[in-house]
């Protein structure tokens, strides 16, 4: 996608997180799993990492965005919630530890006007304290297939319904 006039991505699957912070990187791990899955043509998987402002372009260029991110919400580690946030205040408070929050980015998004993609968010619960590690805890590792399945189904639903 190097051309500014390229067509819109129909579905952007965006995994967010820091893979150096253990379970905090779950979103990226799920995105990596989806890279290997069978997805409809026109669905794009992006490892958003801690990309912050850099993600505005790909998100604006999508008709639909499926976000996957970690949340510290006190639920059992590995629980998955699907949310359809609109404003930043619709996001779980501790959704992100990334430098410039995705939440803030989305607000900026609405302010800039233009076409706003449909956003759904798979928020995966993680324990509050994360050590520096590239490994996931067992509970989160086990959550990957289920989360990937949910995202994959939603991506397919966007094409075949």
**Residue 142 in tokens:** 């086990």
Contact flag: residue 55 with another protein (CB under 8 A): yes
Contact flag: residue 3 with another protein (CB under 8 A): yes
What is the DSSP secondary-structure string of 121-150?
Answer: EEEEE--S---SBSSPPHHHHHHHHHHHHH
Contact flag: residue 1 with another protein (CB under 8 A): yes
Contact flag: residue 13 with another protein (CB under 8 A): no
Other Cβ atoms less than 10 A from the Cβ of 76: the count is 8
Contact flag: residue 20 with another protein (CB under 8 A): yes
Contact flag: residue 159 with another protein (CB under 8 A): no
Which listed residue (82, 87, 146, 159) binds another protein by CB under 8 A?
Answer: 87
Q: How many Cα atoms sit within 13 Å of 147 on the Cβ side?
A: 34
Q: How far apart are CA 3 and CA 160, in angstroms?
A: 28
Which listed residue (29, 64, 98, 152) binds another protein by CB under 8 A?
Answer: 98
Other Cβ atoms less than 10 A from the Cβ of 157: the count is 12
Q: Which is nearer to another protein, 119 or 158 (CB)?
A: 119
Contact flag: residue 93 with another protein (CB under 8 A): yes
Contact flag: residue 52 with another protein (CB under 8 A): yes
Q: How far apart are CA 24 and CA 140, in angstroms?
A: 10
User: What residues line the site for another protein (CB under 8 A)?
Assistant: 1-4, 18-21, 47-57, 60, 72, 87-89, 93-94, 96-101, 103-104, 107-108, 110-113, 128, 131-134
């Amino acid at each position: 996608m190097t051309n500014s006039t390229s067509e819109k991505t129909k579905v952007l699957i965006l995994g967010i997180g820091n893979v150096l912070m253990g379970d905090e990187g779950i979103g990226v791990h799920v995105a990596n799993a989806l890279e290997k899955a069978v997805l409809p043509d026109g669905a794009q998987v992006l490892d958003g990492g801690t990309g912050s402002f850099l993600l505005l372009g790909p998100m604006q260029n999508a008709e639909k965005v499926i976000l996957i991110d970690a949340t510290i919400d006190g639920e059992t580690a590995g629980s998955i919630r699907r949310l359809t946030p609109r404003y930043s205040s619709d996001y779980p408070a501790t959704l992100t530890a990334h430098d410039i929050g995705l939440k803030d980015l989305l607000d900026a998004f609405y302010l800039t006007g233009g076409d706003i993609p449909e956003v759904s968010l798979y928020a995966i619960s993680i324990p509050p304290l994360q050590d520096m590690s590239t490994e996931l805890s067992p509970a989160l590792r086990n959550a990957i297939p289920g989360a990937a399945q949910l995202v994959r189904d939603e991506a397919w639903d966007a094409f075949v319904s």
